[in-house]
Amino acid sequence: MMKNDQPLKQCQMIIFSAQNHDRQFFDKINRQQFTTQGFILSYYKASLTKTSVNLAQGSDAVCIFVNDQLDGSILKQLSELGVRAVLLRCAGFDNIDLQAAKKLGLFVARVPEYSPGSVAEHTIALIMTLTRHIHRTDRRVREGNFALDGLLGKTVQGKTVGIIGTGKIGLMTARILKGFGCHLLGYDTTQTSSFREIGHYVELDTLLSQADIVSLHCPLIKSTHHLINEKTLAHMKRGAMLVNTSRGEIVDTSAIITALKSQQLGGFAIDVYEREAPLFFRDHSSEIIDDEVFQCLISFPNVIMTGHQGFFTEEALSEIVTVTLQNLQCFAESRLCQNVLE
Ligand code: NAD
């Protein structure tokens, strides 16, 4: 995307929204694999916002995560501060205005693939937890309550599962579910022979009306924003379960609440949430969470939520950090980078 006329000697990168595990993995992999490059890394817990952007002063690159929002004005500020590269340590890139970045000549790269099995396995964990009420039984057992009332489950075996987005994570999820003995339906704007080997592609409406479990694995783009809404929820099989480990905004959460109340929707298992940015990745346990949608959602016994941790395995973190530093290396050495976003 950008032309680096001068290869940088000691490239400095600021890592925003940095958690302890980010520092641990970046420091270790930088020390072990990138000694000759001598990357200088610094960490800020703060998200990259209009207020925190000045922290990037003097830095060649910034590294951001899923909830750092880089609109045109923040990108402009970054550019004015001398930043020349934005490294996304994630696959999704719905949080950056790529056109604005291109106009400013910024190098933007992501980690397109890292351990799709991590997110796929988390999807399966959510499905199994909800179908067998593990979240509720765990709480009961800790209080010495071994009653089974309300814990009657269903098998996943033999059920029809609809996979929306049959890319890397969707395909991996489908393959695991095939092993469970599920019938698989897929909906995707690009169809693959790998999915066809294990399932059938159908139109979205057909998938929604036939699936006992619908699992979302498409990216968040204009056409998928609120893909699951009042209308599409009405097309779903009554009592079916919806699983979302992709991006919160693919689902209209208010419509979900209505569908849960009417029991049109039988269960909702999510790792991502439409309004996750002010909540996720931080401890709010001593605060009042001022989000009525969230409060309402977690009051349902047939809703489970994890805090965007599908990617959070040792394997995935190692890959994310290694590829992010490889992308930084390409930028610093003005080399072609296959993970550049344009
Ligand atoms: P991918 O690019 O391999 O697959 C996405 C698939 O969605 C593609 O096959 C694409 O054709 C399809 N698609 C695009 N538009 C569509 C539409 N309108 N309707 C249906 N399908 C459509 O991506 P992936 O690696 O499988 O990741 C999928 C998503 O998972 C990412 O976009 C990201 O949002 C999310 N993700 C979440 C976590 C987590 O921790 N929960 C981690 C990584 C990725």
Q: Are residues 109 and 180 in the same domain?
A: no
Residues 40 and 88 in one domain: yes
**The two structure tokens encoding residue 219:** 């990216």
* 126 & 259 share domain: yes
What pLDDT shows up at residue 3? 46
Ligand 1 centroid to residue 148 C-alpha, Å: 38
Cα(192)–Cα(194) distance, rounded to whole angstroms? 5
Contact 119, 321 (CB under 8 A): no
> Does residue 339 belong to any structural domain of this protein?
no
- Tokens for 216, please give them: 């979302």
User: What would you measure as the largest C-alpha separation in the chain, in angstroms?
Assistant: 70
173 within ligand 1 shell (Cβ under 6 A): no
Total number of domains in the chain: 2
| Domain membership of residue 21 as a residue range | 12-114+313-332
Q: Are residues 182 and 288 in the same domain?
A: yes
What CATH number did the domain enclosing 246 receive? 3.40.50.720
Ligand 1: nearest atom to the Cα of 90 = 43
Catalytic residue among 84, 247, 274, 319: 247
d(CA 207, CA 224): 16
Residue 60, ligand 1, Cβ within 6 A:
no
Q: Is residue 341 part of a domain?
A: no
Q: What is the pLDDT of residue 1?
A: 41
**In a domain? residue 34:** yes
Tokens for 327, please give them: 């992308």
Given this model, what pLDDT does residue 104 score? 97
Does any ligand 1 atom lie closer than 6 A to the CB of residue 20? Answer: no
Beta bridge partners of 86: 62, 108
* Cα(164) to centroid(ligand 1), Å: 9
Strands (DSSP E) contained in 75-118 are 85-88, 107-109
Clarify whether residues 84 and 184 are in a common domain: no
If 0-12 CB within 10 Å is exposed, 13-18 middle and 19+ buried, where does residue 295 land? exposed
Strands 160-164 and 12-15: unpaired
Distance (Å) from CA 55 to ligand 1 centroid: 32
Identify the sign of the CA torsion 161, 163, 166, 169. negative
Residues 126 and 272 in one domain: yes
Number of the ligand 1 atom closest to the C-alpha atom of 171:
26
| 154 and 301 share one domain | yes
Question: Distance of CA 245 to CAs 3, 265, 310, Å?
Answer: 36, 17, 7
pLDDT at position 10: 86
119 within ligand 1 shell (Cβ under 6 A): yes
CB of residue 110 inside a 6 A radius of ligand 1: no
**123 and 44 both lie in a single domain:** no
Q: Is there a single domain that holds both residue 107 and residue 166?
A: no
Ligand 1: does its nearest atom lie under 6 Å from the Cβ of 72? no
**Catalytic annotation present for 247:** yes
Q: Which two tokens stand for residue 179?
A: 């092993």
pLDDT tens digits, one per residue of 71-81: 999 999 999 99
Residues 158 and 260 in one domain: yes
Q: How many residues does the structure list for the chain?
A: 342
At 213, the amino acid letter reads I
121: enclosing H helix or E strand: helix 116-131
CA 214–ligand 1 middle distance (angstroms) = 14
User: Which segments of the chain have a pLDDT < 70?
Assistant: 1-9
Instruction: Give, for ligand 1, the residue of 169, 185, 228, 232 to mutate: max count of ligand atoms closer than 8 Å to Cβ.
Output: 169
Ligand 1 touching residue 167 (CB < 6 A): yes
Distance CA 211, CA 195 (A): 16
- Residues 214 and 209: their CA atoms lie apart, in Å, by 10
Query: 152 and 92, same structural domain?
Result: no
pLDDT at site 38: 85
Q: Write down the catalytic residue from 249, 274, 276, 319.
A: 276
What are the angstrom distances between the C-alpha of 177 and each of 49, 269, 317? 40, 16, 25
Taking the centre of ligand 1 as the mean of its atom positions, its distance from the CA of residue 109, in whole angstroms, is 17
Q: At what angle do helices 116-131 and 134-142 cross, to 10 degrees?
A: 70
Cα distance between residue 341 and residue 107, in whole Å: 8
* Cβ–Cβ < 8 Å for 122, 306: yes
Q: Distance, CA 171 to ligand 1 centroid (Å)?
A: 10
Q: Closest ligand 1 atom to the C-alpha of 221?
A: 15
Q: Is there a contact between 272 and 233 (Cβ–Cβ < 8 Å)?
A: no
State in Å: Cα 176 to ligand 1 middle: 17
Amino acid at 2: M
Residue 218 CB–ligand 1 contact under 6 Å: yes
d(C-alpha 123, C-alpha 301), whole Å: 18
Residue 287 annotated to the active site: no
Ligand 1 atom nearest to CA at 310: 40
